[in-house]
A and B are shown apart, each in its own frame.
Chain A
Amino acid sequence: MVSLDSSKVAASLSEIEKKTLRALEAGKGKPEEIAKRAAMPIDSVRRALQWLKEKQLIELREHSERGMKLTAAGKSSLGKGLPEKMFIEALAELGGKGLMEAVRQKSQLNTPEFNVAMGLAKKNAWVSIHKTEKGVQIELTGLEKPLLEGKYELEKALKAVEEGKEIGEKERKELLRRGLAEEITAVKRTAKLNQNGEEAVRQIAGIKKRSYNVYGEVPRIFIGKRQPYVQFLNQVREKLVSLGFKEMKERLIVQEFYNFDVLFQPQNHPARDWSDTYQLKRPRFGKLPDKRIVAKIKAAHENGAGTGSRGWGYKWSEKIASRLMPNAHGTTADARQLVEGVSVPGKYFVINRCYRPDVPDASHLVEFNQLDGFVVGKEINFRHLLGILREIAVEIGGAEEVKFYPDYYPFTEPSVQLSAKHPKLGWIELAGAGIFRPEMTEPLGIKERAIAWGLGIDRLAAFKLGISDIRYLFAQDLNWLRKSKMVRVG
C-alpha cells in the first residue's frame, strides 16, 4: 500500500466524506447501512464512498446478491396503493357497503384490477357479497381493518422491495405472481476502512499521530547540476562581461605564429623548445594570415619594424611560424584578436584550454585553462595597468588587498605580477600582466597601448573549491561531483 501523507489527505476531505468515514469506524458496511448509521441520504453515501476509494482510504468490496425489483405495475401500486386496498378504501368511503358498479367507479380501478381486487377481498373475507334486485351488493365485514391501518403484509413487502429489504417467501411469490416485482441479480458493495483510512479517521478526530524523528537520515537526491569548475568558469565569464569585456574565440590548435611570433617571442627562444610545449605530428603546418601582416611580424623580429626597437636580430622563418601546436597559453587569443582587428577603446577576454608537456601531479596539469584579456585605449599608462589589475583582483579574486611585483614576459614591458589577499584564502599569486611591447602592437597598426593580463584561473578555482589536488578540477569521481558544492566568484 502506498503510504500517504495522512494529515494532508485528512485536511482535504469534504463533510460527507468525513461523516462516511466516521460511520465506517464502527465496522464495515453496505452503503444503505452506512447511510442509516450516518443519517445521510444514500446518494451522498454512494458518492462519498467513491471519492474515498479514489483517495485510497477505504476498500470497496463488491459481491453479487439475488434480489427483487418492482415492475412498472409494482411501482404504480406503491404510489397509488394496491388494487385491493383501493377497492376496500372506496367501499369504506361509500359507508361500508355499496353496489359493485358504484364501488368500481369510486375506486377508479380498471376491470381486470377490480376483478383481482374483489377476488382477493372475498378470499380474505374482507367483504361479503349479496345479489339484490338493484345488482350485486358488497359490504365490509370488519376484517379489513388491518388493511386500512397499513398492516397489510403485501403492501409492506412492496415497500421493502423498493427499499432493498428482505421480504417473506409468501409475499415474494405473491408479488412475482401478480407481476408487481421481478427477480434480479444485484451488485452489492461493502465498504471498509484501510490503514490510511484509519489514520485519516484519527486525524479527523484530532487524535495525535505518530511523530517523525526530524533528525533522522533521509534518502539523498542526486540532482542534475553543473560540474563545479565549469560553473565557476561560467561565473567568471559573466563577471567579465559585466565589466565590459568581450569574449574572444577559443582555439585549441594554433599556429606558432599566434602562440609565439605575434607575441614577439624569438624563434630560437628556449620557451619554444620541444620540452616546454607540445608539438603536433599531424597536422604539422597551418596557414598564415595576410602577407603584409606576416612581413611586419618578420620585420619586428629581425629589426624592430621601425618601432624604435632593435628587434631580436636574427633571421625569422615563416616555416617555423606556420608550425601547428596545441595552444600553450591564453595570450594566443589576444594575439589572434590583435591580428584580426580590435575596436579602440576595447576590452577583450578569453578562457582558453592550454597544453604543456608536464607530468601531471597535484599542482600540474598537462591540460588546463587560462583566463586572459587585454584592454586597449588612448593614453593608457602604467597606473591604469595597476588599476585594471586591482579591479580584476577584487571582482574575480575576491581580494581585499593587492600587491604588485616586477615580472617578466617576452611580450609585455613593463610586466607585473599581481598578488591578492583574499579574506579566507590569504595571499595568492593571482595574475601576470603588462603593457604589450610596441614591437607587438605597432606592426599590427595599433597605435594605442594595450594592457594585457592573464590569470591562472585553475589555481584560483582550486583555492575556491577547497581542493589541494588540482587534478580534481577535471574530477573523474562521480561521488565527489555529486557531493561538490557550488562556489561563487569573488
Chain B
Amino acid sequence: MPNVEVSLKDIGELVGKKLSLREFKEAVLYAKGEVDAVAGDIVTVDMKDTNRPDLLSAEGIAREIRSRLTRDRGIPVYRVRKSNVKLIVDKNVSGIRPCIAAAIVKNVKVSGNFLVQMIQLQEKVCLTFGRKRKEAAIGLYDWSKLRAPMHYRAYKPREKKFIPLEYKVEMDLDEILQEHPKGKEYAHLLEGYNRYPILEDAKGTVASMPPIINSQLTGKVSGKTKEVLVEVTGHNQETVNTALNVMVSALAERGFGIYSVEVKYPNRKIVTPDFSPKKVVVKIGDIREFSGLDMSNEQILDLLGKARYDVKISGKKVSCQYPAYRQDILHGVDVIEDVLISYGYDRIEPEPIKIAVVGEERPETKEADLVREMCIGMGLQEVLSFTMTSKEKQVEKIGLDGKKEKFVEIANPVSENYAVFRKRLFPELLDFLAKNKHCLYPQKIFEIGKVLELDSRSETGVSEKNVLCIALSGKGFNFTAAKSALQAIAENTGRKYSLKESNLPFLAKGRQAEIGIGNKKGVVGEVSAAVLRNFGLEQDTVLLEVEI
C-alpha cells in the first residue's frame, strides 16, 4: 500500500481550513488513509485503496477531505481551455504502446510543495494504478522547451539518440535499455519489439522514450518552469485518460490553468483531458438493505454529495455521476461503500448476527492434538519451526545426495535460508538442538507440522503431509528410547505399527528402522555420528519421524 507524504500546512491551505494533526488523522480516514509517521509538519499517510490514484497526493487528499469538513459537495469543477496543440500518433506505435493522452498546464507557480507532490503523485500513480508503468507511464516536461505539434512514433533502436535524465551524453535507444538504471528496470516492458516508442516535438527534439525515461534537456520540471506538458502512455485509452485526469486535476486544485491537447490517431481524434463525469445507477432500496440503515432519500443524496457524486433521484433509483479521475467504481456496492464512509463507520451500531450453526475442527487438527497430548505426557517440549528452509539443512547436513533430492522450491527466495519447503522435519529439530547446546540436558523436543513433497498426482503437484517428529538428546538415549516413544504413541492412539530394518544414511547402522502405521510411513533410530558432527551435536541423539 502506497505511503504518501504531505505537509499539514499545505493540506490546510488546499482544504481552506487549518487542520490540527488530530483533526487530520480523523479526516483522512474518509480517504482510507492512516497516519503512519509524523516529522514536524510532514505527515506520512498510508493510503490503502490502491484503486484510488487520485488520493495519492496532498491535492487529492485535500479535495476528499474538503467535502466532508465544509459545505463543498459533488464533482469538483475544473475549467479546461483549448490550447490548439496537436499530438500526432504514428500508426507504427499501435502494436507496441498504442495509447496516449496529454494536457498543458500554464501559469504554474512553482512552490516546494507543488514540485514534491507532482513527482510523488507521478511515481505512485505509475507504480499502483499504472501497474509499474505497464498500464500507465506519466511524463512531465518543460513546455517552453518544446514546439507543437508533438509526435508519438516508434523508432528503431539505433535510429534515435538523446540524453536521458541524469546523464550527460547522448545514448541510442538500445544503450539506454542496457545501461541506464531506469532502462534496465523497465526494459522488459519493451521486450520483443524491434522499434521503441518516442515522444518528440515538431523539430524532432526528443521529449521522452515512454515508458522508460525522459530527456535530460526537455523532460525536467524545475523551479523556473512556467508551463508544463503532462503526458501519459499505455495500452488502454480509458486507463491512460484516468491517469492524466488524476495528474491534471491535482494541478487544477492549485489553481493553475489547464489546456487541452488534441490527440490525432491515424483514424480518429480525441481531446484530452476529458473531464466529463462517469455514470452509475444504483437502486435506493439496495443502499438501505445493504447498509442495514434506514436512511431518507435526502440523507442518501447528501452523503453521496459529500463523497463527491452529482446525484439525481429518478423513481426508485439514484443516478450517480462521479469525477473523471476515478476508475474504481465497478459495481453499485462501490457507491454504497462511499455512502457508508460519508455516514461514518463510527456512527453505525453493530448488530449481532443470528445464525445457529455447529462449529467443528478438521479431523487432522483433532488428530494432531491427540498426538500432541501423548508427547506432552511423555514430558516432551513442543517446538515450532518454519516450513521454508535451506537445502543445506535438508540435504547436505544429513548426508543425502543433492542431485537426487528434489524439493518444492521457491523461485524468488530472499535468502538461502528460506529457499525450499522442508521434506523432512527432523533436520529442523536437529538444527534446534544445535542452537541450544548451552541448555540443560536431557533435551526432549517434538514438533507436529507439515512436510511437502513433489507429487504429480496432486492438483498442485505437491503433497502436504502432517508429520510428528520427536528428538531426544542427552546421555544414554538409544534406539530403545526412540522405539519406546513410538510404541507409546501407537498404543495410546490404538494403532498397530510395524518396523523394518533400514539403512538410511542419516541414522546409525543397525540402530534404525522404517516405520509403517497403516499406509503411513516413518523412520526411527539413532542419529549417525556423521550427522551429529555436521550439526555440531555432542550428545546421544535419537529421533522418530512419522506421518500422522
Question: Contact residues of A with B, CB < 8 Å?
Answer: 222-227, 229-230, 234, 237-238, 240-255, 268-271, 273-275, 278-283, 285-287, 304, 307-314, 324, 326, 343, 345-347, 353, 355, 357-359, 366-367, 375, 377, 379-384, 386-391, 402-408, 410, 413-416, 435, 437-439, 449, 451, 473-479, 481-482
B289 interface hit (Cβ, 8 Å): yes
- Chain B, interface size category, equals 35 or more
A350: nearest chain-B partner, CB-CB: B362
Chain A residue contacts of B443, Cβ below 8 A: 478
The CA-CA distance from A472 to B34 in the complex, in Å, is 28
Chain B residue contacts of A346, Cβ below 8 A: 355, 357
B380 interface hit (Cβ, 8 Å): yes
Would A268 and B134 be within 8 Å (CB), given that A279-B412, A476-B435 are in contact?
Answer: yes
* Min distance, Cβ B50 to any Cβ of chain A, angstroms: 7
* Min distance, Cβ B65 to any Cβ of chain A, angstroms: 13
Chain A residue contacts of B355, Cβ below 8 A: 244, 345-347, 375, 377
6 nearest interchain CB pairs?
Answer: A381-B292, A283-B461, A386-B350, A414-B337, A241-B359, A383-B292
B386 interface hit (Cβ, 8 Å): yes
A278 touches B412 (CB 8 A): yes
Report B34-59 residues with CB < 8 Å from chain A CB.
34, 48-52
Looking at the complex, which one of B372, B379, B409 makes contact with A223 (CB distance below 8 Å)?
A: B379
Can you spell out 23 A-B residue pairs with CB atoms less than 8 angstroms apart? A224-B378, A224-B381, A225-B376, A227-B382, A227-B447, A253-B462, A255-B460, A278-B413, A280-B411, A281-B409, A282-B408, A286-B461, A309-B330, A358-B414, A366-B388, A382-B348, A383-B291, A384-B292, A387-B351, A410-B51, A413-B331, A416-B345, A451-B353
Report B369-402 residues with CB < 8 Å from chain A CB.
369, 372, 375-388
Among A243, A251, A308, A439: residue with most chain B CB under 10 A: A308
A359 touches B384 (CB 8 A): no
The CA-CA distance from A278 to B413 in the complex, in Å, is 7
B452 interface hit (Cβ, 8 Å): yes
The CA-CA distance from A251 to B530 in the complex, in Å, is 35
The CA-CA distance from A234 to B373 in the complex, in Å, is 12
B351 touches A386 (CB 8 A): yes
Looking at the complex, which one of B30, B50, B380, B436 makes contact with A271 (CB distance below 8 Å)?
A: B50
Chain A residue contacts of B30, Cβ below 8 A: 406
* Min distance, Cβ B256 to any Cβ of chain A, angstroms: 30
The CA-CA distance from A367 to B34 in the complex, in Å, is 25
Chain A residue contacts of B340, Cβ below 8 A: 382, 406, 414
B239: nearest chain-A partner, CB-CB: A313
Looking at the complex, which one of A278, A384, A388, A474 makes contact with B385 (CB distance below 8 Å)?
A: A474
- Chain A binding surface SS class: mixed
Would A406 and B387 be within 8 Å (CB), given that A286-B461, A437-B331, A476-B435 are in contact?
Answer: no
A359: nearest chain-B partner, CB-CB: B414
Total number of A-B contacts with CB less than 8 angstroms? Answer: 279
B476 interface hit (Cβ, 8 Å): no
A479 touches B439 (CB 8 A): yes
B418 touches A367 (CB 8 A): yes
A414: nearest chain-B partner, CB-CB: B337
B410 touches A308 (CB 8 A): no
Among A222, A229, A403: residue with most chain B CB under 10 A: A222
B128 interface hit (Cβ, 8 Å): yes
The CA-CA distance from A240 to B365 in the complex, in Å, is 14
B331 touches A383 (CB 8 A): no
Mask: chain B, 302-332; 1 = CB below 8 Å from A; 0 = not: 0000000000000000000000000000111
Would A279 and B290 be within 8 Å (CB), given that A254-B460, A286-B460 are in contact?
Answer: no
Chain A residue contacts of B128, Cβ below 8 A: 270
Chain B residue contacts of A473, Cβ below 8 A: 384
Mask: chain B, 443-454; 1 = CB below 8 Å from A; 0 = not: 111010010101
B388 touches A478 (CB 8 A): no
The CA-CA distance from A388 to B355 in the complex, in Å, is 11
A390: nearest chain-B partner, CB-CB: B350
A383 touches B348 (CB 8 A): yes
A223: nearest chain-B partner, CB-CB: B379
* Min distance, Cβ B456 to any Cβ of chain A, angstroms: 8
Looking at the complex, which one of A357, A383, A405 makes contact with B293 (CB distance below 8 Å)?
A: A383
A224 touches B379 (CB 8 A): yes
Chain B residue contacts of A384, Cβ below 8 A: 292, 351-353
